[in-house]
Amino acid sequence: MADNGPIAIDPAWRLTPAAGFTRPAGPVVLVVMDGVGVAPADEGNAWHLARTPFLDSLMQAPVQGHLAAHGTAVGMPSDADMGNSEVGHNALGAGRVFDQGAKLVQNGVDDGSLCAGHAWNEVLAPCLAGGTLHLMGLWSDGNVHSHVEHAYALIDDAVKKGVRRIRMHILLDGRDVAETSALDYVLPLEERLAALADAGVDAQVASGGGRMITTMDRYEADWAIVERGWNAHVHGEARGFASASAAIRAFRAEKAGLVDQYLPPFVVTGADGAPVGAIADGDAVVLFNFRGDRAVEISRAFEVPPGEDFPPFDRGRVPSVTFAGMMQYDGDLQLPKRFLVKPPAIDRTLGEYLAKNGVKQLAISETQKYGHVTYFFNGNNSEPFDEALERYVEVPSDKVDFSERPWMKAAEVTDRALAEIDAFAPAFVRINYANGDMVGHTGQLVPAIIAMEALDLCLARLVPEVLERGGVCVLTADHGNCEQMFQRDKKRGGFAPRPDGPGYQPLTSHTLNPVPCVIVGGGAGERFVWREVDKPGISNLAATCLNLLGYEAPADYRPSVIAAR
């Protein structure tokens, strides 16, 4: 496939031909089956239970294997840490492993640097002058968006340095941890804050809500989520309770089967019925999430100054506060301006190398994963490296519970991808199908099965069309999810039974399972074969795609998983 004519290539960026490989006539298409890992064929494996004849046939292809997509293979602190779509796409695009948010923040906790920087001192300054310190974020130890111990470290340091008024705005998880585990995290927090109160520190939970209802929207899919959070956190406007634990118990009693991520917003009120923690002028706010995708929008709401237009929603009274994020969530937008930990500096990504060498690229997904195939794949950069050579396509996601429409926008993504391949003629394409992850997060097995069947139907259309155009498909995932829909009983083995009835406890989080990698087209098995590399992970696929495009990978990239015959 021809590029856009000859260009002058900077020698520092020039890619050299790979011995034994030539670029195919059609595109090299990297297909990310988001949240589809490899696990035993049991009654909790949605992929195994689904009718997926095409995908199952691909698993018998001559060039295929399994890749690590969690833990140290994607820059997490340990191999006990699950991967996620952010770090997964960073690894896929970077071709190397960079320490990620969870590890960077934990390093800061361990060596003391988290609370030694200029930004933290700026946060504390108004609080030491009489303002309130507000800490906001996802309240669990899932270590995907946040970790409670990071927030506790901030509380301890603030108290040590003299802060005497602290309010917590906690977003309940049930997605990266067990679906109804909120009290396991909230009760210890309330006990700890009560101990601080006994010691003379006015520390309380002020507001909260389930993460999928309150505050943590992403990719501007539904600003109403952020608006609900803003009203609860800033204005103290939501249903009132005497405590966060009382709110959780009341919501569960009122609606059977309600899981943490969908709990309504709430505020904690005092004896007079007034909210105990509305955010006021002269306060400081720290968003202690380290992952960026669900932190950007609420950060924007705080960063746009009072009096300036804010189109997403009417913020009402906008307090003048000192705002900081745990990290900078968007480097291009410099958002937020103040942050406690520097994000990973990911440079020389696959996308940038291809742009510098005049290779046309297409990135496409529906809204839920659009930022992953663009921003995260490009090393946390939002904009194309060369607009003339790159086309980014977003297919709007439905604003529904994905268990109700588990097919999501897979068919529309497939239609648009094939149309763009013909119209734009890219040499490299990256596609994300969100079904396995987004439906897997609901914890509902039947919808997850349907999600996999919808994915299979779309792959059965996409892959043959790409091969007919002379292309190559690399099918993989960024992490596991839907292949393990029940929690495992770590003590007794097998699945963990539900404590309140028949069946097993749903697993709504990502998994520690490896992910598949299958390469078809371009003479797979004849012109090139799978090769064993040390600790194969998804970061090895950048070099693999470069080989398929006819290039050698940069020397410091993780090695390709294919070798020419």
Percentage of the chain lying above the pLDDT 90 cut: 87
For 175-210, how does the pLDDT look when each residue is reduced to its tens digit (9 = 90+)?
A: 999 999 999 999 999 999 999 999 999 999 999 999
Mean pLDDT of 372-382: 92
Is 33 within 8 Å of 476 (Cβ atoms)?
yes
Query: Which of 85, 146, 365, 509 is labelled catalytic?
Result: 85
Q: How many CB atoms lie within 10 A of CB 396?
A: 13
How far apart are the C-alpha atoms of 437 and 434, rounded to whole Å? Answer: 6
pLDDT of res. 6 = 63
Tokens of 443: 């914890």
Distance of CA 527 to the CA centre of its chain: 36
In the numeric block, the tokens 């689904």 are attached to: 50
Position 332 confidence tier, pLDDT thresholds 50, 70, 90? low
Q: Calculate the alpha carbon distances from 514 to 338, 351, 450, 559, 563 in Å.
A: 36, 24, 22, 18, 22
Assess whether 245 carries a catalytic annotation: no
- Report all structural domains of the chain as residue ranges with CATH numbers, in order of start: 28-100+346-564 (3.40.720.10), 102-341 (3.40.1450.10)
For 487-524, how does the pLDDT look when each residue is reduced to its tens digit (9 = 90+)?
A: 888 778 889 898 777 889 999 889 999 999 999 999 99
Residue 144 makes CB contacts below 8 A (sequence gap 6+) with: 82, 84, 102, 176, 291, 509, 510
Biggest CA pair distance of the chain: 78
Residue 160 makes CB contacts below 8 A (sequence gap 6+) with: none
Mean pLDDT of 394-403: 94
Helix segments in 203-271, DSSP class H: 223-233, 244-254
How far apart are the C-alpha atoms of 91 and 478, rounded to whole Å? Answer: 9
Position 2 confidence tier, pLDDT thresholds 50, 70, 90? very low
Is 98 within 8 Å of 319 (Cβ atoms)?
no
Q: Calculate the alpha carbon distances from 261 to 243, 304, 366 in Å.
A: 18, 28, 22
3-class DSSP assignment, residue 119: helix
Tokens of 205: 């939970």
Position 100 confidence tier, pLDDT thresholds 50, 70, 90? confident
Is 496 within 8 Å of 505 (Cβ atoms)?
yes
Q: Whole-model pTM?
A: 0.80
